Amino acid sequence: MDYDIFNGDADGICALIQLRLAHPKDTVLVTGIKRDTQLLKKIDAQVGDHLTVLDISLQKNSEQVIQFLNNGAHIFYADHHQAGEIPKHPNLNALINTDSNTCTSLIINQHLQTRYPLWAITAAYGDNLQHSAEQLAKTLNISPEVLKELQKLGTYINYNGYGSCIEDLHFSPDKLYQELVSYTSPLDFIVDKPLIFKQLETGYLEDMKNAAQTQPSYKTGSVAVYKLPNEGWAKRVSGAFGNDLANQYPNRAHAILTDTSKGDYQVSVRAPLNNKTKADQLCASFPTGGGRKSAAGINHLPPVDVARFIEKFNETYSNMS
Answer for the pair 80, 105: CB distance below 8 angstroms, yes or no.
no
Burial 99-127 (b: 16+ CB within 10 A, else e): ebebbbbbbbbebbeeebbbbbbbbbbbb
For 222, the 3-state DSSP assignment is coil
pLDDT in tens, the chain (321 residues): 999 999 999 999 999 999 999 999 999 999 999 989 899 999 999 999 999 999 999 999 999 999 999 999 999 999 999 899 999 999 999 999 999 999 999 999 999 999 999 999 999 999 999 999 999 999 998 999 999 999 999 999 999 999 989 999 999 999 999 999 999 999 999 999 999 999 999 999 999 999 999 999 999 999 999 999 999 999 999 999 999 999 999 999 999 999 999 999 999 999 999 999 999 999 999 999 998 899 999 999 999 999 999 999 999 999 664
Domain boundaries, the chain: 2-202, 218-317
- The sheet carrying 289-291 orders its strands as 218-219, 223-228, 253-259, 265-270, 295-301, 289-291
Handedness of CA 52, 103, 246, 139 (dihedral sign): negative
Task: Say which residues have a Cβ less than 8 Å from residue 269's Cβ, sequence separation at least 6.
Answer: 242, 253, 254, 255, 256, 279, 282, 283, 291, 295, 296, 297, 298, 313
* Strand ranges (E), 115-230: 218-219, 223-228
CATH second-level architecture of 2-202? Alpha-Beta Complex (3.90)
The pTM assigned to this predicted structure is 0.94
Residue type, 294: S
How does DSSP assign 56-97, residue by residue? Answer: S-TGGGHHHHHHHHHHT-EEEEEE-S---SPP--TTEEEEE-
Handedness of CA 139, 142, 148, 153 (dihedral sign): negative
Of 3.10.310.30, 2.40.180.10, 1.10.150.20, 3.50.50.60, the CATH number of 218-317 is 3.10.310.30
